[in-house]
Structure 1
Amino acid sequence: TMGLLAAFLISALLVRPVSLVKHSLKYFFTETPGAQSIPEFVAVAFVDEVQIGDSNSVREAKPKKDWIKFFEDHPQDLEWYRFQSNEIHQFLKATIETLRRRLNHTEGVHILQRMSGCEWDDETGEINGYDQYGYGGVDFLAFDSQTLTWIAPKPQAVITKMRWDSHKPGLESTKNFIAHQCPEFLKEYLQYGRSFLQTTVFPSVSLIQKTSSSPVSCHATGFYPDRAVMFWRKDGEEIHEGVDPGESLPNNDGTFQMSIDLNVSSVTPEDWQRYDCVFHLSGMNEDMITKLDKTVIRTNREKPADTVTFISAAVVVLTLTIVTGVAFVAYKKKKGEKSESPDDGSEQSERLNPQS
């Protein structure tokens, strides 16, 4: 869901470099056997929250546009990515079948996910790696690189933890990846993509209302990277009542769009001036503030000067499914509520990390 700028009118936007200290490389894997609307398996790689490539159960690994040249010059890296995606796909598929039997999950669609990667502080040199699993929307297992064991606070995950802990080569392999191989990849990717990874593109922000009785949508489009927040304020204080936040979605040119709705049905005309919409983008020194003003609101009877590009409904469904599904792991780096893992876990544990 994250691309890079390809052909965009930079001259029409304000661009400034972002000074990043911490950098990250993340791999997300999602296995959903039995789902009809999305691929059974999806793998996505991000550098500093920017997608560099992906693959799924019906397509081989594919780098994003700005990264094609890199992988053409480093075919061994792309082959590694393809091999790991296939290996992890098969492992997750076998694992989820075991979990369903063990936990008596015989009906419905179940999701097994993995997030692994590392963060590197280019000032201090500190490296933090992680490897985590989630099942059914909750944490499942998390790797502790200090003790070389898997963390399993839930009773259902103890069997899996014991099996994976008993496979010493797999534990060493996981530690080696998150502590050494992942940072090496990250520094290599940063060296190639530094010129565009650290660029901030400001959006255009508009107020949109379908009808006079509809909510007012504060819509920002054309921003980059995808590290932004939007909220409504009243008298300078952030409000939540009557506010419907939207999702950040990709545009076709590699930038992003986001919107947040405000229910104005109970807002009196004289109170409109008390409201404003705030857009904050990582790397911006100042927020972009848009006053709630009837004179600048666009309606569905008008054609905006700069037409917003919306992605197809199918892509929205896939994007939201994947992002929502993996978000719980990304914000719980040290937790590990879990369910269960494969009966042959000790035999396959060497395949638990994207490195081989």
Structure 2
Amino acid sequence: MGTFFVFTLLALGVHDAVAVIHSLKYFYTASRGIPSFPEFVTVGLVNNQPISYYDSTQRREVPKQEWMKQTEEAEYWDKQTKISMATEKQFKASIDTVSQRLNQTKGPHIVQNMYGCEWDDETGKVNGFNQFGYNGEDYIAFNLETETWIAPKPEAMITKMKWDRDEAKIQKDKTYLTHVCVEWLKKYLEFGKQSLMRTVLPSIYLLQKSFLSPVTCHATGFYPDRAMLFWTKDGVELFEGVDPGEILPNHDGTFQVSTELDMSAVPSGDWGRYNCVFQLSGVKEDIITQLDKESIRSNAEKKMQTPSIL
């Protein structure tokens, strides 16, 4: 999907814990011509945890966290439902507009919008973003510093020029992204602090598909998602022969990540010099797992003894 919805992992210094950067994000997805998929979906997330959901099938905004059910009354969800229903109409119209400009009136199409803010709880630094995509590619994005819209595609220039001239909209967007959004983020962090501000350490597993496959270090069940997983040799981080993976969500709200290491050219006697290191934001001590063949879980088939035939 290009650079549009790529989540940037928050590096912990050179691998040192830093202050937590919190986020409030909303994702809108309008689609046409995709079977068994709602034509419009909205999801709200705090620190990448879903807090609200609406789609064009159920036509009702609903909470996705227990603390959201307890802190926001029925009137709030009625209001949000009306907003999402109105937004649904706008986005369906946007599909027609963009597809016509790109001369792509046939086939399935998707328009996406991601907007929200980030807040550093130590420095107080705030960042806001508002980005649109079409069929998985960047279409137009708001530059908060220059207060202008960026159009990577020529077809988006009409929208850019129109929105750049709308000073009232620009100031409204800026106020929301740098103030209103941040206030809502802080409110949600307070309401859901027992869930959102918790720290959960992972389970670490060493895996190998076959005897010749790379060794995978897999960390799962951790929270928050600001974590690092890497290999070291004699205490020095390795880059050659390493294939790092992305942090992915688990169904229970925790996260998982894996990193592979090619050990095919390493003598068996040297395996003990390698470690898998996991670091979690806010936790001072690393979790270090030494590479030990006896600890590896493998899918390699064991040779079965052929039964005797009488």
Give the alignment's TM-score, normalised by structure 1: 0.67
One-letter code of the match for 2:188?
Y
Q: Flag the structure with larger Rg.
A: 2
Match of 1:255 in 2: 254
State the alpha-carbon separation in 2 of the partners of residues 36 and 264 from structure 1. 45
State the alpha-carbon separation in 2 of the partners of residues 201 and 106 from structure 1. 48
2:43 corresponds to 1:55: no
State the alpha-carbon separation in 1 of the partners of residues 135 and 76 from structure 2. 31
Match of 2:7 in 1: none
One-letter code of the match for 1:273?
G
Residue 25 of structure 2 aligns to a residue in which SS?
A: strand
Relative to 1, partners in 2 of residues 1:94 and 1:248: Cα closer, same or farther, differing over 3 Å? Answer: same
Structure 2 residue runs of 5 or longer lacking an equivalent are: 1-16, 302-310
Match of 1:46 in 2: 45
Match of 1:115 in 2: 114
Structure 1 residue runs of 5 or longer lacking an equivalent are: 1-17, 303-356
Match of 1:67 in 2: 67
- CA deviation string 1:277-317 (max 9, x = no partner): 22222222133222221011123489xxxxxxxxxxxxxxx
One-letter code of the match for 1:69?
K
- Give the drift of 1:37: 6.7
One-letter code of the match for 1:209?
Q
Match of 2:241 in 1: 241
One-letter code of the match for 1:143?
F
8 A contact 1:246–1:261 mirrored in 2: no
Residue 115 of structure 2 aligns to a residue in which SS?
A: strand
8 A contact 1:248–1:259 mirrored in 2: no
State the alpha-carbon separation in 1 of the partners of residues 225 and 20 from structure 2. 17
8 A contact 1:55–1:85 mirrored in 2: yes
- Give the drift of 1:262: 3.1
Match of 2:100 in 1: 101
8 A contact 1:143–1:149 mirrored in 2: yes
Q: Which segment is superposed worse, 146-155 or 226-235?
A: 146-155
State the alpha-carbon separation in 1 of the partners of residues 108 and 161 from structure 2. 27
The structure with the largest helix share of the pair is: 1
Match of 1:296 in 2: 295
8 A contact 1:199–1:224 mirrored in 2: yes
Relative to 1, partners in 2 of residues 1:158 and 1:81: Cα closer, same or farther, differing over 3 Å? Answer: same
2:131 corresponds to 1:132: yes
State the alpha-carbon separation in 2 of the partners of residues 109 and 240 from structure 1. 41
8 A contact 2:101–2:155 mirrored in 1: no
Match of 2:216 in 1: 217
- Give the drift of 1:25: 1.5
Match of 1:181 in 2: 180
Residue 199 of structure 2 aligns to a residue in which SS?
A: strand
Match of 1:349 in 2: none
State the alpha-carbon separation in 2 of the partners of residues 70 and 234 from structure 1. 49
Residue 104 of structure 2 aligns to a residue in which SS?
A: coil
> Any residues of structure 2 matched to 1:191-210 within 5 Å, and which?
191-210=190-209
8 A contact 1:112–1:136 mirrored in 2: yes
> Any residues of structure 2 matched to 1:314-329 within 5 Å, and which?
none
8 A contact 1:70–1:192 mirrored in 2: no
Residue 199 of structure 1 aligns to a residue in which SS?
A: coil
Relative to 1, partners in 2 of residues 1:262 and 1:125: Cα closer, same or farther, differing over 3 Å? Answer: closer
2:79 corresponds to 1:89: no
8 A contact 2:211–2:300 mirrored in 1: no
Structural RMSD (CA): 3.2
Match of 1:232 in 2: 231
Residues matched between the structures, number: 283
Match of 1:159 in 2: 158
Relative to 1, partners in 2 of residues 1:147 and 1:256: Cα closer, same or farther, differing over 3 Å? Answer: closer
